[in-house]
Structure 1
């Protein structure tokens, strides 16, 4: 028997001091935070001016085998993948297959009567009036999509649509079902053909428990929320709830940075769609400056616009940030939960993009 945190640290030190490796301030900041928060593995990508300037992996993709993280290790996106759902909905609007002003009842007439005022734009911007209630959701039960829809129908609706922001994963689950109804195929097939392939994101794919997926990282969760809490393998989640459109995507640091880089070059196919997705819809908190668009938070700090999102699911965390005025983007992918995520992200951003502001906590 061995201590995984000790062997993980040994691997980190070996990678940082390997022949040809050049430690720098970003390495120092990341390695120190990995050690402090007992993080198994992490990958970072940086783009500037539409070109990838750095891709680095740290630590282990699998603690049992001590497989090192690389820029091509696949991590789960968590909610950073919501932007792919919003982009797909905007593309379907561009194709004339829907309108953001369509009520959800247009696609699912059996929706509760209380949902009559919910439009697609409300689902996209977390202003549907719905609240997630996971006491009603058994994420370990395998269901047909019709059953999933019925579960979503039980979510409490506590206010009129369009009046207040409240983060709701189930809203994006419904958006995935809309995509599937209109395209006649799994929503991820539309992502692949219309987003990933055109942008050169060659490794990004849907989650699958059955497929052999080279380079897939293992996810880890803590028994408690403290820094010293021991890591365990991710809890099992059914195939159903690992395939919902609120963020069930595998991605690499290389692909996520490629995606961010595409925002900083002329891109007739995507630029207008991204602008629509990032346009502020509503304040995420009346007491804070950040707004929410459609799969993106937006804020201006010291005159600098910032676009960003985080994600967490099944032993993974992710964070992406883009400064459009400075044509710079950073992606961070991690294969564990983190007791102090904001501390890690702020330290990484401060070193990876010196002089650029971080978004509010």
Structure 2
């Protein structure tokens, strides 16, 4: 493919211009063509305190971009006959709970296991990412679960638990720490000398940029204290990820089969596609198929975006929690694709006046889930589910979708008060508008306990409202505001490091109408029962 590299370089420079020359964190963007890093520009500071700029050798926490490497380790061990990916995961981790359903190693890799997300398990116990916890706390949280989000293989839901467990399986089978396996089998052979697994976020790492959040006055260091493993423990750089990208084409490590197996899809039983392959997401963009994954950790954001058919990859990494590397990576990709044959234009959004009518809060009766649809000052629609906000884009058929999210959420307006929502596995439901500001159910104030979360919630009056205080397995949390949605449906607001999350909850009642508990849904931990005590 013939590219005007000077033009691409200037486009990338323009994308980074707002962050250049400031005493602020920033971003780095690399464009790879034919396995070579042909454009690499950076803007902003790796360390505000020391005035160190982001440069070619700067490393970052790449968070969930690590997942493809964990899957590569599993696939390499399977190739050697040491792991059967269709086997029950309890074959290798017998401490996992017996939920009555078989969860295979393949289910873990494709994010279809139904296992609840360990970060959400900890959140419901009051522990946000800034609270120090141990690796065993995370594993124990998963092992306490007696229910799943859904029957394995039937739905897709992103869960960090899957990849923490995959990392532990790799360790059990190989007989060495995951960090050592990856270093010996992948990083060293490929010359990825800046890449390493750092399970402790307190470990000093050469050239590591500090992660920051915007603050009322300037920036603050992003707090993070959770240990990291197969779900997100890597530190890397644009240069090193470019070497990995080349390997996915050359097969120097693992062979030609590795990229094929990492990107092998697993359709659902009803034939609907699953966007999640093995640590990588498969999505169409402007008429080409992309293979990608993002990473999100306090103060760090990453986007690893490949277009194998065009031999192009864009890598964007930020140490500024307020930036959007995913969006900027796609804008850099636009610069590469523009004018090439077979490239489709991005569908236009509906007029702003129509989007303003769509804005509001909607509710799904079946799942007791809510979504807030909003509009940015620039007129871009947003979807907020359980507090996570993503910008939407238009589809050719007039629907709106979340194209750069780990979840699937597509909306078709059906009039002033209803929308059709399509989620994973082709699951469609009609959601209706709710006004919000509803009164809370009488008798809600009480203490509730979940054995699976090992969390005790006490809802009681504080000032002029009800608030929830939490006693969890490792810490105490709250107070969390409790908001009425409609009837017996509640929203419990859980302030967090990454975003202001919320939990959707339905009040459970006995035959006589007395409140007996709560059924709680988070974004990645669903149908959790809290009994009134």
TM-score by length of 2: 0.56
What whole-Å deviation, never above 9, does each CA across 1:260-291 have from its counterpart, x for those lacking one? 122233647332112111112247xx99x871
Q: 2:217 & 2:149 partners in 1: Cα distance?
A: 36
Q: 2:288 & 2:336 partners in 1: Cα distance?
A: 17
Partner of residue 308, structure 1: 292
1:282/1:318 Cα in 2 relative to 1: closer, same or farther (>3 Å)?
A: farther
Residue of 149, 161, 171 corresponding to 2:162: 171
Partner of residue 224, structure 2: 236
Q: 1:196 & 1:143 partners in 2: Cα distance?
A: 26
1:326/1:346 Cα in 2 relative to 1: closer, same or farther (>3 Å)?
A: closer
Alignment of 1:197-236 (within 5 A): 197-207=188-198, 208-209=200-201, 211-222=203-214, 230-236=218-224
Number of aligned residue pairs: 327
Give the deviation of 1:161 after TM superposition.
0.4
Q: 1:352 & 1:67 partners in 2: Cα distance?
A: 30
Is the 1:309–1:320 Cα contact (8 Å) retained in structure 2?
yes
Alignment of 1:177-326 (within 5 A): 177-207=168-198, 208-209=200-201, 211-222=203-214, 230-237=218-225, 241-265=226-250, 267=252, 269-282=254-267, 291-326=275-310
Partner of residue 29, structure 1: 15
Q: 1:143 & 1:51 partners in 2: Cα distance?
A: 40
Q: 1:236 & 1:261 partners in 2: Cα distance?
A: 32
Q: 2:301 & 2:100 partners in 1: Cα distance?
A: 32
Larger Rg: 2
Q: 1:153 & 1:230 partners in 2: Cα distance?
A: 41
Give the deviation of 1:113 after TM superposition.
1.5
1:280/1:328 Cα in 2 relative to 1: closer, same or farther (>3 Å)?
A: same
Is the 2:251–2:258 Cα contact (8 Å) retained in structure 1?
no
Deviation larger for 67-76 or 330-339:
330-339
Give the deviation of 1:331 after TM superposition.
0.8
Partner of residue 32, structure 2: 47
Give the deviation of 1:219 after TM superposition.
0.5
1:342/1:91 Cα in 2 relative to 1: closer, same or farther (>3 Å)?
A: closer
TM-score by length of 1: 0.81
Alignment of 1:79-158 (within 5 A): 79-114=64-99, 116-132=101-117, 133=120, 134-136=123-125, 138=127, 139=129, 140-143=131-134, 145=136, 147-155=137-145, 156-158=147-149
1:311/1:282 Cα in 2 relative to 1: closer, same or farther (>3 Å)?
A: farther
Is the 2:59–2:236 Cα contact (8 Å) retained in structure 1?
yes
Give the deviation of 1:217 after TM superposition.
0.5
Q: 2:274 & 2:103 partners in 1: Cα distance?
A: 23
Partner of residue 383, structure 2: none
Structure having greater relative contact order (Cα 8 Å, sep ≥ 6): 1
1:39/1:93 Cα in 2 relative to 1: closer, same or farther (>3 Å)?
A: farther
- Stretches of structure 1 that go unaligned for 5 or more consecutive residues are 1-21
